[in-house]
């Protein structure tokens, strides 16, 4: 599956043929097990025709298929107004066990119109089955009886679904390609303010924030195996080994819905930087920049001593702080050279108010050209 163009928009692979086939078979089995015979399937055209045909192959009980045709979409947006273009005669619905077959339910506007019309025709029972369901978009109170797959509120095409009447014949599902967001590493020694700045940038830019410190605390608090291993190193003021950190971060990076990454505290070694490039490449992405916050060491020590008084963290004495800074210089600073060699290194003055440093970061980010553009 590769990126495709339909009319003026690009779409990227989203749901495979195998995933669709599994969902259709599951629905056929669930409907057969939970609906009285015989069943009248009401197929909502045009989108549901492929779904209905495939479901019929796996439905092993008596059934009749009738067809509604409605219109509610223009381009990639729902109009909110639903028109019936082809109706069903009441004699095919009255006193029958009816199951509505929808390709997709998002807002529920189309479904509401269908149910209003079908109730007028006095079915014995009325149930709803949909291949795809967008719970975040659904704003009606009708229960959905059978759901093939729940998906986020994204515009999709393929397997009967269209974009301005094309794309229905695609055997897989594609989603609308969203503009690529910047992916970068926020870098600097302990006490440079990375965590504070990352939270502000996350909110301002709508990015996904990944902080190894938060990951460590989560795993330690929940006493996972990875957390127990990490704690032994953290308690000594040592760096957590690469394999532990990488295992913690893999799951988040692999999330298909995550977009625009800020990495804070990762990578801390050149090996981690190489692994991060591999993880991003698996998503078809690339690290666009390393933003290094520079603060003189005497200011770092002062900041960390003040922070240790209130945070309860292990960096509450000068000996431990200097040990951490020594580790940073010997093991982590070489990461700068890794990104310098790729032309992605940017240094930011970290002295000043939080707002001043944040503006410096935003100024640099605004001038970074994404590598795939």
Q: Strand runs (DSSP E) across 108-244, as ranges?
A: 125-133, 146-150, 156-157, 173-176, 184-187, 208-211
Annotation marks residue 307 as catalytic? yes
Annotation marks residue 194 as catalytic? yes
Contact 93, 66 (CB under 8 A): yes
Catalytic residue among 46, 175, 194, 344: 194
CA dihedral 59, 61, 64, 65 (to 10 degrees): -10
- Transcribe 62-125 into DSSP letters: -EEEEEEEEEEEETTEEEEEEEEEE---GGGTTTSEEEEEEEEESSSHHHHHHHHHHHHT--SE
Annotation marks residue 268 as catalytic? yes
Matching residue, tokens 């532990």: 244
Catalytic residue among 307, 331, 336, 371: 307
Report helix angle 212-221 to 225-235, nearest 10: 110
Query: Three-state DSSP class for 312?
Result: coil
Matching residue, tokens 């000594």: 236
CA dihedral 194, 199, 201, 202 (to 10 degrees): 130
Q: Starting from the edge strand earliest in sequence, which strands make up the sheet with 345-349, in order? A: 208-211, 261-264, 184-187, 289-294, 345-349
Number of C-beta neighbours around residue 269 at 10 A: 18
Contact 88, 47 (CB under 8 A): no
Contact 100, 47 (CB under 8 A): no
Annotation marks residue 217 as catalytic? no
For residue 4, give the nearest of 165, 257, 155, 177 by alpha carbon: 177
Catalytic residue among 313, 322, 336, 360: 313
DSSP 373: -
Annotation marks residue 36 as catalytic? no
Catalytic residue among 96, 121, 134, 324: 324
Angle at the Cα of 85 from the Cα atoms of 80 and 89, rounded to 5 degrees = 120
Catalytic residues: 194, 268, 307, 313, 324
């Amino acid at each position: 599956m590769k990126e495709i163009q339909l009319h003026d928009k690009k779409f990227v692979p989203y749901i495979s043929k195998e995933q669709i086939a599994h969902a259709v078979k599951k629905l056929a089995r669930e409907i057969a097990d939970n609906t009285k015979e015989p069943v009248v399937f009401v197929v909502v055209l045009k989108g549901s025709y492929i779904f209905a045909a495939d479901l019929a192959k796996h439905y092993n009980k008596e059934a009749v298929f009738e067809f509604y045709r409605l219109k509610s979409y223009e381009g990639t947006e729902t109009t909110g107004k639903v028109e019936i273009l082809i109706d069903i005669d009441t004699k095919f619905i009255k006193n029958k066990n009816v199951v509505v077959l929808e390709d997709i339910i998002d807002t529920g506007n189309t479904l509401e119109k269908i149910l209003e019309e079908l109730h007028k025709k006095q079915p014995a029972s009325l149930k709803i089955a949909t291949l795809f369901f967008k719970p975040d978009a659904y704003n009606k109170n009708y229960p959905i009886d059978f759901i093939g797959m729940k998906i986020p509120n994204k515009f999709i095409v393929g397997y009967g679904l269209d974009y301005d009447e094309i794309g229905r014949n695609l055997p897989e599902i594609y989603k609308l390609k969203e503009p690529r967001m910047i992916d970068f590493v926020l870098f600097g020694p302990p006490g440079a303010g990375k965590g504070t700045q990352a939270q502000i940038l996350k909110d301002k830019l709508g990015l996904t924030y990944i902080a190894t410190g938060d990951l460590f605390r989560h795993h330690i608090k929940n006493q996972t195996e990875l957390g127990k291993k990490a704690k032994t190193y953290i308690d000594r003021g040592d760096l957590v080994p690469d394999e532990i950190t990488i295992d913690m971060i893999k799951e988040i990076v692999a999330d298909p819905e995550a977009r625009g990454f800020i990495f804070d505290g990762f990578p801390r070694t050149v090996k981690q930087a190489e692994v991060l490039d591999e993880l991003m490449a698996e998503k078809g992405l690339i690290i666009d920049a390393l933003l290094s916050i520079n603060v003189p060491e005497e200011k770092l020590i002062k900041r960390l001593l003040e922070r240790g008084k209130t945070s309860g963290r292990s960096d509450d004495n000068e000996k431990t702080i200097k040990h951490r800074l020594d580790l940073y210089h010997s093991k982590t600073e070489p990461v700068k050279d890794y990104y310098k060699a790729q032309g992605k290194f940017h240094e930011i003055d970290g002295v000043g108010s939080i707002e001043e440093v944040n503006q410096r970061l935003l100024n640099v980010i605004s001038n970074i050209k994404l590598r795939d553009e």
